[in-house]
Amino acid sequence: MIPQSGATRQPQNTPIFVRGRERPVGYVTGGVFRKSVRASVHFLTRPRAIAFDRSTIEDAENAGALTVEVTDSETGNVYGCALDTIWRHSFDVHRGYGNQVALALPYWRVNNQPPAPVWESNQAVKTAQP
């Protein structure tokens, strides 16, 4: 048997689950929590934001994630941000789907393009919730 060096090993995929479900919602690989969703169903429209079960973000962080990437399976767009950005700028979501946090779209890189300047305060985003 030939020992493998760290440079040739593939990073481990750590599945991330919503508690009580058997299928993972995403995976942490190489410090990145990746998940794929349909934006028309899973993105918030008012305010425009991407929401997560709080437990999945906590579990991803515990598995070593430093960044998050969400792929919109309908368009192929990839939304990315630092996990720290989610904790600093997210807001709580209470819409009947459990304990969730959401981050407004202006905070996300899209297809590796830097986010647009954020002019709206986080309080304004919270106020815009129905």
pLDDT of residue 129: 58
Percent of the chain's residues with pLDDT above 70: 82
For residues 34-55, average pLDDT: 95
CA-to-CA distance for 11 and 90, rounded, in angstroms? Answer: 28
- Could you give the C-alpha distances from 130 to 28, 40, 58, 125, in angstroms and in order? 32, 18, 26, 11
* Domain boundaries of the chain, sorted by first residue: 23-114
Closest-CA residue to 129 (of 102, 109, 105, 108)? 102
Judging by DSSP bridges, how do beta strands 91-93 and 100-104 pair with one another? antiparallel
Tokens of 61: 């962080």
Has residue 2 got a pLDDT over 60? no
- pLDDT score recorded for residue 96: 79
Instruction: Give the number of other CB atoms < 10 A from CB of residue 67.
Output: 19
Contact 36, 76 (CB under 8 A): no
**Minimum mean pLDDT among 10-19, 25-34, 98-107: which range?**
10-19
Is the pLDDT at 3 greater than 70? The verdict is: no
pLDDT at 128: 56
Which helix or strand (DSSP H or E) is residue 54 part of? helix 54-62
Looking at residue 69, its pLDDT comes to 98
As a whole number, the mean pLDDT across the chain is 87
